[in-house]
Amino acid sequence: MIALLRAVSGLIVWAAAFSALYGLQGLVCAFGWQATALGPLSLGRALLIVLWLAVLALLSWMAWRFWPRQQGPSFLNRLAFAIAVIGLIATAYTGLPVVSTSVCH
C-alpha cells in the first residue's frame, strides 16, 4: 500500500501545488498584495514564486529519492520515479505563468 501511494505521490503533489498556486493568486488579487512593493517584485508575485519554487524543490527531492538504485528495481519503484519526474515537469509548466504573466487583471 505504501509503495502504491509513493507511486502516485508526484501527481498528488502537483495537483495540490496547482490548487495552492491559483488559490494564492486569488488571495493576492482579492487583498491587493500585488500593489505592495517588495524590492523589485510585488509582495504577491514574491509569495507565488516562493511557493512555486518550494514545490519544485520538493518534487526534485522526491524524484531523487525515488530514483531506482537497486539492481532490477520493482515496477512500483520505477513508476514512483517516473511520476515524480512527470509531476516536476507539470508543476514547472503550469506554474510558469506565475513568473511570466501579470498577477491580476
Name which of 9, 29, 3, 1 is nearest 98 in CA terms: 29
45 inside domain: yes
68 inside domain: yes
54 inside domain: yes
66 inside domain: yes
List pLDDT tens digits, range 72-104.
678 888 899 999 999 999 999 999 988 888 878
105 inside domain: no
Using pLDDT thresholds of 50, 70 and 90, give the confidence band for residue 71: low
Query: What's the number of domains the chain is made of?
Result: 1
Q: Is the pLDDT of residue 53 over 90?
A: yes
Residue 60's domain comprises 2-100
Distance CA 43, CA 63 (A): 30
24 inside domain: yes
